[in-house]
Structure 1
Amino acid sequence: MKLQDCFSASYAQARRRFLDAAADAGLQVESKIHPERGRDGEELAMDVARDGAPDATALLVLSSACHGVEGYCGSGVQVAALQDAAWREQARRGGVAVLYVHALNPYGFSHIRRTTQENVDLNRNFHDFSKPLPRNPGYAQLHGLMFPDHWPPSAQNEAELQRWVEQHGAAAYQAAISSGQHEFPDGMYYGGLGPTWSNRTLREVLRAHARTARRIGWIDFHTGLGPSGLGERIYAGPDDAAEVARARRWWDGDGRTPVTSIYDGSSTSSKLTGMMWACVPDECPDAEYTGIAMEYGTQPLQQVLQAVRAEHWLAQHPEASPELAASIKRQMLEAFYTDTPEWQQRIWEQAREAMGQAVEGLGG
C-alpha cells in the first residue's frame, strides 16, 4: 500500500479511490445518491461497503466526512484500511464485521464546506425535533459580529469581537460559536429545524446493516481540533459513567492516548448538542454501543474558527470575487487537512491502532 495514494485532492477523486479499493477487496458498494451535484458537476453519494457476515453480532462502523471538508482525512483512512490485508484479517478473526460509510456529507466534502447543503452542521442535527430545541444565547450575541459586510473584517469589527472574548473568555467564545445553534439558518454550527438528507440517509444505513448487531463500535474521523497530527479520542456517547469507562477500556491502551470527554471537560471540544451518535440507540435499541470521534489536529483553534467564519461569509456573499472565493476555500481546506506525507502517516498510524483496539473491544 502506498499511503499517499489513499488520500485525495478532491471529493471526486476520493470517491473513485474508495470505490476502487472496495472493489479490489471484493466488497459490494451501496450508493445513496445525493439530490445535489458537486462543485464540478459530479454525482454525490454516501457510499457504504460492508466487510463481514451480514448477520454478524459485532459491528465496527468507520465513517468519514460528517463535516464535509474533514473527509479529506477520513476518506484516506478508509481507503488505506480497505487495502490493509492484515487489518481486514484481524477483524475477520475477531468475528467483527466492518461497515465503511464513506462521505456522510458528500455535499460539504465536494464544496469544501463543513456543512450540508442545508447549511447544517450534521453533528448538531440529531435531535427529537418534536421537542423544544436547545438555545444558545452566546451565539445570538455574536452572530452579527461574525459576518461583516466586507471580507476581510475591518479592524473595528475585529476589535469588537475581541472585546467580547476578553469579557467572557476564550472557552466561552468557543462554546458559543461551536456548541450548536438553531436560530440563525445562515450562521455557523447551525443545527437545523429538522433532519437533513445525511441524517435520514445514515439512519437508513444503520437500519439495513446494524439491526442484527448486539455490539456496535464506531470511529468517526474528524479534523480541526488540537495539536497538528495528534488524534484525540473523544468519547461519543451519552453522559453515562459506565459507557465512558467502557470506551476508555477499549481505547486508552497504555495511557498515551487517553479517551477524553466533553462531559468532564477533558476534551478540546466544547460540550455539543444534537450529536450524531444519538441515532444509534434510536435505530439499534438492542445493541451495546461504544464510540469515539477521532479528532486530528491541523492548525491553532482561532485560525480554524476564522477559516470557518470566512467560509460562511462567502456562502452569504456569492458576489465575492473569484480571487477572494478561491483564497477563502484554500484557507478552509488547509484548516481541516494537512497535505503532507508526514501528517498523513501520523493519521494512519493512530487510526490503525484505534481500529485494532475496537476489534479487540468488540470481541471481548
Structure 2
Amino acid sequence: MSFWSRDYVAAVASFHLALERLEGSGFEVSHRRLLIDQSGPQEENLAIDVALIGPKHASRWVMVSSGVHGVEGFAGSAIQLSILAKLQTLPDDTALALIHIVNPYGMAWLRRVNESNVDLNRNMLLPGEEYSGEPDGYAALSPLINEQEPPKKKDGFLRRAMLFVAKHGFANVKQAFSEGQYERPKCLQFGGGKLEKSSVVLLEWLEENISGVKRCVWIDLHTGLGKAGNDTLLVEFAPSDPILSKLRSHYGKRITSLDPEAGVAYRIRGGLQAGVEARFPDIEWTSITQEFGTVGPYAVIAALRSENQWTQWGDKSGRETLNHWSRDKLLATFNLKKPKWEEKLIIRGRKLFADALTDLAGEQKKVLDFQWERN
C-alpha cells in the first residue's frame, strides 16, 4: 500500500478515507476542516484537516502535525496515513491528535511558504513579541539569496554561495538565513507582520479541544535537513540541559539541540511549537521536530531562492504559476522520489510515534505492528 499522494487534493481525500475506516473499526473520531479562505490550482477549498482519535477528554495526547512548510507536506501526510493504517489501539486516557497540512496553500501550489509569502514556522511569535527585526548577517546575505529578477537555471549561485560561506563561516550563515526575518515581505524566511490565518484557526481549534490535556508529546514532521533518509529529532533545549539526556535515554541519540553549533539545526523565531507551548503553559510538553534529510544545504537554498524569484518576479498568472521548473525543483528538493527514501520515512515516522506513546504510557500496550509490509 502506498501512502504517498500526487497532490494536495489526493492527500486530503486519503486522509478523510483513513479516518472513516478507523471510525468504522470502532475508534472514536472527531474531524474538522479549518478553512483558510484560499483556493488551490484545481479551485479546491484549502483547509487544515484536524482530527482527534480516542477519548475527547483524555489527559494525554500524542499530536502529529504535517505540512507546516507546504511542499514538505507530501512526506508528512504519508507518515500520518501510515500511522492511521497501522493503528490498532491506544493506551488508556490517551488520544491521538492529527494536524494534516498546516500550510495547505504551500502544499497545493508547491511552495514552502503560505499565500502571504510567510513561513508559518516563523509566524508564531511569543505573546508580546513584535513582528520586527532580522538576524545579524541577513542584510549582507540578502543580495545573494533575494535577487530581484526571474530565476535562471544556471547563474553561478553555488560558487558565490560557497565564497560567501568561506568568508563569514557556515554556522553564522546558517543562522542568518534560517532564524526568520520580519522586514522584507518578498524575501526568503519572512515571518509575517501578524498571525496568519492558518495560525489563527489552528490556535482556535486547540483552545476548544486541549483544555483538559495535562501532558502532550508533539511530533512535527519536516524534510530537508540532514543526510538523505536519516531523521534528526530536534528539540528546544541547550546541549548542556539535563532534559536533553533524559530525552535521549528514551528516544535515542538522534535527539539534537536546535543550537546551530550542535549539528544540522539552528535557532528560530516564531516557531510553531514554541509559540503554541507559550499559549498553553499549563501543559507538560515534549515537542520534537522530526526532520528527514533530502539534499545538501546549498541545493536546498538554491531551490528556495529560485522558486521565490519566480513567485516574486516571474512573468506568470493563474495556474501558470505552478507549471514552472522552479516549483518542480522545490518539490524534488524536499521529496526524493526514491522507494528506499520513502520506505525509511514511513518506518522511522511510525517508530517515533510508538516511542511517543510509550513515553506517555510506558509499555502498557502493544500499539502498532511495525513490520513494514511491501505490497
CA contact (8 A) 1:63 1:101 kept: yes
243-252 vs 178-187, greater mean Cα deviation: 243-252
* Cross-structure match for 1:280: 276
**Paired amino acid for 2:140:** Q
Question: What is the distance in 2 between the residues matched to 1:105 and 1:347?
Answer: 20
**Paired amino acid for 1:174:** K
93-102 vs 312-321, greater mean Cα deviation: 312-321
Could you tell me how far 1:341 is from its partner in structure 2?
A: 2.3
**Paired amino acid for 1:307:** A
Question: What is the distance in 2 between the residues matched to 1:244 and 1:56?
Answer: 27
* Cross-structure match for 1:118: 116
CA contact (8 A) 1:64 1:101 kept: yes
Could you tell me how far 1:269 is from its partner in structure 2?
A: 1.6
- Tell me how many residue pairs correspond in the alignment: 353
SS in 1 for 2:349: helix
Among residues 100, 105, 108, which one is paired with 2:106 in the alignment?
108
Q: 1:299 to 1:156 in 2, by over 3 A?
A: closer
* Cross-structure match for 1:47: 49
Question: What is the distance in 2 between the residues matched to 1:238 and 1:278?
Answer: 14
* Cross-structure match for 2:20: 23
**CA displacement, residues 107-159 of structure 1 (integer Å, 9 cap, x when unaligned):** 11111111011111111111147444453131122222321424217757765
* Cross-structure match for 2:4: 7
**Paired amino acid for 2:71:** V
CA contact (8 A) 2:148 2:313 kept: no
**Paired amino acid for 1:345:** E
Question: What is the distance in 2 between the residues matched to 1:165 and 1:279?
Answer: 31
**Paired amino acid for 2:165:** V
Q: 1:240 to 1:363 in 2, by over 3 A?
A: farther
Could you tell me how far 1:215 is from its partner in structure 2?
A: 0.3
Question: What is the distance in 2 between the residues matched to 1:333 and 1:58?
Answer: 35
CA contact (8 A) 1:69 1:108 kept: yes
Question: What is the distance in 1 between the residues matched to 2:141 and 2:63?
Answer: 36
**CA displacement, residues 178-216 of structure 1 (integer Å, 9 cap, x when unaligned):** 111111111111111211112112211221222211001
Question: What is the distance in 1 between the residues matched to 2:263 and 2:347?
Answer: 21
* Cross-structure match for 1:260: 256
**Paired amino acid for 1:121:** D
CA contact (8 A) 1:63 1:221 kept: yes
168-177 vs 76-85, greater mean Cα deviation: 168-177
Q: 1:98 to 1:272 in 2, by over 3 A?
A: same
CA contact (8 A) 2:171 2:260 kept: no
Could you tell me how far 1:289 is from its partner in structure 2?
A: 0.3
Q: 1:97 to 1:191 in 2, by over 3 A?
A: same
Where does the alignment leave 5 or more consecutive residues of structure 2 unmatched?
24-28, 363-375
Question: What is the distance in 2 between the residues matched to 1:144 and 1:56?
Answer: 51
* Cross-structure match for 1:347: 345
SS in 2 for 1:93: coil
Could you tell me how far 1:172 is from its partner in structure 2?
A: 2.1
SS in 2 for 1:25: helix
* Cross-structure match for 1:97: 95
Could you tell me how far 1:340 is from its partner in structure 2?
A: 2.6
Could you tell me how far 1:236 is from its partner in structure 2?
A: 4.3
Among residues 283, 295, 299, which one is paired with 2:295 in the alignment?
299
**CA displacement, residues 312-364 of structure 1 (integer Å, 9 cap, x when unaligned):** 10111240596995211110001111123221110011111111111111125
Question: What is the distance in 2 between the residues matched to 1:224 and 1:98?
Answer: 26
Structure 1 runs (4+) greater than 4 angstroms displaced: 153-162, 236-240, 320-325
**Paired amino acid for 2:188:** M
* Cross-structure match for 2:213: 213
Please give the root-mean-square deviation of Cα atoms over the aligned residues, in Å: 2.3
* Cross-structure match for 1:233: 233
Question: What is the distance in 1 between the residues matched to 2:282 and 2:127?
Answer: 23
Among residues 286, 289, 295, which one is paired with 1:290 in the alignment?
286
**CA displacement, residues 28-60 of structure 1 (integer Å, 9 cap, x when unaligned):** 321111211012211111011111111111101
After TM superposition, the score normalised by the length of structure 1 is 0.90
Q: 1:334 to 1:80 in 2, by over 3 A?
A: same
Query: Which structure has more helix as a fraction of its residues?
Result: 1
* Cross-structure match for 1:328: 326
Identity %: 28
